[in-house]
Structure 1
Amino acid sequence: SLPAAPLVRYTYTEAGELLAVYDRSNTQVRAFTYDAQHPGRMVGHRYAGRPEMRYRYDDAGRVVEQLNPAGLSYHYQYEQDRITVTDSLNRREVLHTEGGAGLKRVVKKELADGSVTHSGYDAAGRLTAQTDAAGRRTEYGLNVVSGDITDITTPDGRETKFYYNDGNQLTAVVSPDGLESRRAYDEPGRLVSETSRSGETVRYRYDDAYSELPATTTDATGSTRQMTWSRYGQLLAFTDCSGYQTRYEYDRFGQMTAVHREEGISLYRRYDNRGRLISVKDAQGHETRYEYNAAGDLTAVITPDGNRSETQYDAWGKAVSTTQGGLTRSMEYDL
C-alpha cells in the first residue's frame, strides 16, 4: 500500500518563493531566505542541523559573496570574459569564459596553486577537448546531431570509438587495441545481449513485451540466473545458477525490510520515521542499532554484544572524533 502521508512537503512565501522542505516525518530538512526588495533572490540557505549559508549580490543580480560561518567563504569578481573567485584564505582562482548567452563556457582555469587547465567546445557548447595542468590533451568526437560521443582520443594518441543505433543506444565500443564489445537491443529498446571484448556473451530475457526488467540472465557458460520484480521495480527474489534463492521484502516507502536466504538465514531491517536505518537483526535475534543527529549523520553504532562506537561531527558534517572501546581518535582538516 502507498503511504497515506506525503513523502515530501513544501511551503512557500506569499510571493511564491520556496520557503522550506519537510520530509515524510514532517521534519524540516531545508530552509530558504529571500531578499524582500528583490523577489526570488535567495540570500540564505540551510540544511537541517547545518549552519546557514548567506549570499550577497551586486546591482546586476550576480552573487558576489558566499558567507559560510563554519567554513570557507568566497568572493566573486566579474569582468568581461573572466570571473575571479577568492576564498577567505585569500586563495584565488580565475575562470576565463567564451561565448554568449546560454553558450558561455569556461575555456581556461587558473587554479590557486598556479596550474592552468583548458577546455574546448563546439558551436553548440558541447565539450570537445580538455587539457590538464601538465599539458596532456584529451579530445572528444561528437555526433553533430545527437551529441553522442563517437570517439575519445587520449593524450598518447590512442583512440576509442563508440557506435549507436537509431535510438541513440550504445551498440559497440572499439578499443585502441581493436577489440570490440557489443550490445544488442530488442524492438522496444531493451538490452537483450552484451558481448565482452573477450567474446563472452550475456543474454537477457523478459517475461513479456511490457517488462522493463529482465526475468533471466544467461552467461557465456550457459548458467542462468532468475529475477522476480515487484510492479515498482523492486527485486523480490533472486535465484542463482545453482538454484539458491534469496528473497527480499520492502515497506510502503520502498525501503528493504527483510532478506531471506536459504536454510532459514534472514536479516530484518528497521527504519525511523525519517527513513534512516536504525536496526539490523538476524533470525537469532542478534541486533545492531544505529543512532543519528539532527543533520542525519550517523553518531553511534551499538553491536549485539552491547559495544558502542560513537562519531562526533563538526558543523559541516565532517567527522572530528570516533570513540570505540574507550579509545578516542580525533581528526583535523585543512581548508
Structure 2
Amino acid sequence: GKAICTTQGGLTRSMEYDAAGRVIRLTSENGSHTTFRYDVLDRLIQETGFDGRTQRYHHDLTGKLIRSEDEGLVTHWHYDEADRLTHRTVKGETAERWQYDERGWLTDISHISEGHRVAVHYRYDEKGRLTGERQTVHHPQTEALLWQHETRHAYNAQGLANRC
C-alpha cells in the first residue's frame, strides 16, 4: 500500500492505504499501530487497535452497521423507518439514544456516563444551520440537573459563522 507520513515536533505518524484508497494501517509516533480490514463492499469489518484489542463490525444488506463486537462486548445499532440511527444497546440496555425533529434534523443525543444521564440538545434556524447546543448532566435517580452548558451560534449575511 501507499504510505503517507506526517512529522510534527520531531514525531512521525503514518497512514498506509490499499489500492482502493482505504486506510489499512495507522502507525503512531511511538511505533504502535492500528490496522483496518474491509469487506468486498468497502465496509469496515475489523479494527485492531494500538492496544491489541480487536473490534468487529457487522452490517445489514443495505450497509447499515447493526452489530459491533469489542473483545466480547456486543453492541447492537438500531434505526428508524427513515434509516436514521435511533439508539444502540449494550448487554440489552440502551447505551445511547438519538432523536430527530419532523425535518429529520438531529435534536438530541443522550447516554449514560458514570451512572449519570448526559444529554446534548441541538437547535437550528430555518435554513438548517446549527444555532445552539445545550449540554446537561442529570442525577441518575432523581433526574435533578447537576450541570449545564450552552453554546450559541450565529451567522453573518453571507451565511458564515461569526460567533460560537
Give the TM interval when normalised to the shorter protein: 0.5 to 0.7
CA displacement 1:41-89 (0-9 Å, x = unmatched): xxxxxxxxxxxxxxxxxxxxxxxxxxxxxxxxxxxxxxxxxxxxxxxxx
Are the counterparts in 2 of residues 151 and 162 from structure 1 also a CA contact under 8 Å? yes
3-state secondary structure, aligned to 2:56? strand
Partner of 1:227: 77
TM-score (norm 2): 0.60
**Aligned-partner Cα distance in 1 for 2:99–2:74:** 23
Task: Report the equivalent of 1:236.
Answer: 86
Task: Report what 1:8 is aligned to.
Answer: none
Paired residues for 1:242-253 under 5 Å: 242-245=91-94, 246-253=96-103
Equivalents in 2 of 1:159, 1:278: separation in Å? 36
Q: Which residue of 1 aligns with 2:41?
A: 188
For the residue of structure 2 that corresponds to 1:254, the secondary structure is: coil
Identify the residue that residue 160 of structure 1 maps to in structure 2. 13
In 2, distance between residues paired with 1:154 and 1:198? 23
C-alpha separation between the residues in 2 aligned to 1:199 and 1:247? 29
Residue 256 to residue 149, structure 1, CA distance change in 2 (3 Å): same
Give the distance between the partners of 1:318 and 1:278, measured in 2 at CA.
13
Aligned residue for 2:65, secondary structure, equals coil
After superposition, residues 70-109 of structure 1 pair within 5 angstroms as none
Q: Superposition pairs for residues 137-152 of structure 1, below 5 Å?
A: 150-152=4-6
Q: Helix, strand or coil: the match of 1:215?
A: strand
**Mapped partners of 1:154, 1:270: distance in 2:** 35
Task: Report deviation, 1:160.
Answer: 3.4
Pair 277,180 (structure 1): closer, same or farther in 2 beyond 3 Å: closer
Q: Is the contact made by 1:185 and 1:193 (CA closer than 8 Å) also made in structure 2?
A: yes
Partner of 1:175: 28
Asked if the contact 1:272/1:278 (under 8 Å) is kept, the reply is no
* Cα distance, 1:259–1:278 mapped onto 2, change above 3 Å: closer
Taking a change above 3 Å as real, the CA distance of residues 183 and 250 of structure 1, as seen in their structure-2 partners, is same
Q: CA deviation at 1:202?
A: 1.0
Number of aligned residue pairs: 139
Unaligned 5+ segments in structure 1 are 1-142, 298-315, 320-335
Match of 1:202 among 38, 41, 55: 55
Higher strand share: 2
Larger Rg over CA atoms: 1
Structure 1: how far apart are the matches of 2:40 and 2:88? 26
CA distance in 1, matches of 2:124, 2:51: 47
1:225 shift after superposition: 1.1
Letter in structure 2 aligned against 1:219: D
CA contact (8 A) 1:201 1:219 kept: yes
Contiguous gaps of at least 5 residues in structure 2: 136-142
Distance 1:296 1:177, change over 3 A: closer
RMSD: 4.3
Identity of aligned residues (%): 20
Q: Specify the code of the residue in structure 1 equivalent to 2:51.
A: S
